[in-house]
């Protein structure tokens, strides 16, 4: 917890002496549900200074949605910096929302979509997602106000469920824990996959705001900005309405990379009774939505169901699909589980990293050097934003190449690891060695 409550620290200085009840606070139109006993005091303090939104106070113990949380962050950011995020020239990339505060969060880099075209405003927010968005907001405030709010720590926190934290959230969680923004759940776990509630979001946001206020890191007009947030938001939306045009509908396509892929009525691999169809290799499908490790897709025969992300590959319909790349990735996945063997070149008996990539590419007529050092110089160097499935990812230290992998899309690589053999892992975060290059071999 950051220091003492704002109510004791600053409300008196602002001339606000009347204590308000949660259900009758100024600026809160809806009758609020009762918060948990542990949350009551800090929520009162947050309500007193309008550091809440109408949506969140309708039910303090309700599960937190992306839309509700993003609005709180935008309100806090604009109050802290005495600014309004300009969205007049922003083209809305989302097909499922046109709310101004969501576009503001997107424009400011506080929140992004679930997919390129969907924000999924009603999706529930996990603890690790909440922390990541909070840290993004804080860093935006640091940049705008030219202050330092978060202090980095060399010591990473240790939790029993540390291994469950997503690689993309680990840095933000470590930073938040080091700055006492968030803590464990009381059983030496951080519970990154647990869903957050409205009261948890309000309190975490309040503690951050309290720290900024105590250390005089906010713009002086923060109180007026909080009180007038709804008016400012309406004005922004009205003036931007003519320019915030929904992007033309663009369907997200994907190609099946497995030889045969089951289409299921629900995202569950263990239920043999939920198979409603089968998709064939290289069949094109349309992605409807995304849920954890699954895509909901519509087949060419207009059947909608779920498929696991590991067996389809997204692509841009405006660009030609490379059958070679798609087939290479599908072929490479056939050997997941093959054991690691130093110097090995057998896709079934044992391979090392360069033996694996060399044999995969050889299947499609591409001759790579035998060593990872040599393969790190095959083809041509490309930038990360040019990376496509079927390109090589090179790892090492100080320019010295020690490992090579094949990029398969969706932030993942397939490679032969010394500990587990051939497996699919994240592009970032798995290898001890940093990425030192990307190579394009397929033209």
Distance CA 153, CA 291 (A): 33
Query: Encoding tokens for residue 241?
Result: 């309405």
Cβ neighbours of 341 (radius 10 Å): 16
Query: Encoding tokens for residue 435?
Result: 């990425």
Dihedral of CA 349/350/351/357: which sign? positive
Distance CA 377, CA 38 (A): 59
Whether 308 is catalytic is no
Cβ atoms of residues 292 and 410 within 8 Å: no
Rounded to an integer, what is the distance from CA 177 to the centroid of its chain?
19
Distance CA 241, CA 316 (A): 29
Query: Encoding tokens for residue 309?
Result: 């992300």
- Burial class from Cβ neighbours inside 10 Å (0-12, 13-18, 19+) for residue 355 reads buried
**Strand partners of residue 422:** 416
Query: Encoding tokens for residue 15?
Result: 């001339």
Rounded to an integer, what is the distance from CA 94 to the centroid of its chain?
16
Distance CA 179, CA 292 (A): 29
Q: Which of 9, 10, 308, 415 is catalytic?
A: 415
Distance CA 270, CA 273 (A): 9
Catalytic positions:
353, 403, 415
């Amino acid at each position: 917890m950051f220091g003492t409550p704002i109510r004791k620290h600053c409300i008196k200085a602002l001339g606000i002496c009347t204590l308000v009840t949660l259900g009758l606070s100024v600026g809160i139109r809806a009758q609020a549900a009762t918060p948990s006993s542990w949350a009551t005091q800090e929520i009162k303090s947050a309500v007193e200074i309008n550091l809440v939104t109408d949506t969140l106070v309708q039910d303090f113990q309700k599960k937190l949605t992306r839309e509700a949380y993003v609005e709180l962050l935008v309100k806090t950011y604009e109050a802290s910096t005495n600014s309004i995020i300009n969205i007049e020239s922003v083209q809305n990339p989302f097909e499922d929302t046109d709310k101004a505060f969501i576009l503001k969060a997107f424009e400011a880099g506080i929140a992004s979509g679930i997919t390129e075209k969907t924000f999924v405003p009603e999706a529930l927010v996990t603890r690790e997602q909440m922390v990541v968005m909070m840290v993004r907001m804080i860093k935006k405030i640091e940049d705008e106000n030219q202050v330092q709010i978060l202090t980095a720590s060399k010591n990473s926190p240790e939790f029993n469920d540390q291994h469950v934290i997503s690689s993309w959230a680990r840095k933000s969680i470590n930073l938040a824990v080091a700055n006492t923004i968030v803590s464990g759940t009381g059983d030496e776990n951080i519970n990154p996959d647990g869903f957050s509630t409205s009261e948890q979001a309000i309190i975490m946001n309040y503690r951050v705001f309290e720290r900024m206020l105590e250390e005089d890191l906010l713009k002086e007009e923060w109180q007026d900005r909080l009180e007038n947030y709804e008016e400012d938001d309406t004005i922004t939306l009205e003036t931007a309405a003519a320019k915030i045009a929904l992007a033309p509908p663009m369907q997200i396509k994907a190609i099946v990379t497995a030889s045969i892929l089951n289409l299921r009525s629900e995202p569950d691999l263990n239920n043999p009774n939920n198979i409603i169809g089968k998709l064939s290799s290289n069949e094109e499908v349309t992605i409807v939505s995304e849920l954890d490790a699954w895509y909901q897709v519509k087949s060419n025969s207009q059947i909608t169901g779920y498929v696991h992300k590991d067996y389809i590959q997204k692509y841009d319909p405006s660009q030609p699909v490379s059958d070679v790349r798609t087939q290479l990735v599908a072929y490479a996945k056939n050997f997941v589980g093959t054991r690691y063997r130093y110097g090995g070149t057998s896709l079934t008996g044992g391979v090392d990293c360069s033996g694996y990539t060399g044999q995969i590419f050889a299947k499609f007529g591409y001759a790579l050097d035998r060593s990872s050092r040599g393969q790190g110089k095959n083809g041509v160097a490309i930038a990360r934003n040019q990376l496509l499935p079927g390109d090589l990812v090179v790892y090492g230290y100080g320019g010295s190449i020690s490992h090579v992998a094949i990029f398969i899309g969706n932030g993942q690589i397939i490679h032969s690891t010394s500990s587990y053999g051939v497996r699919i892992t994240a592009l970032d975060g798995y290898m001890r060695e940093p990425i030192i290059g990307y190579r394009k071999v397929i033209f």
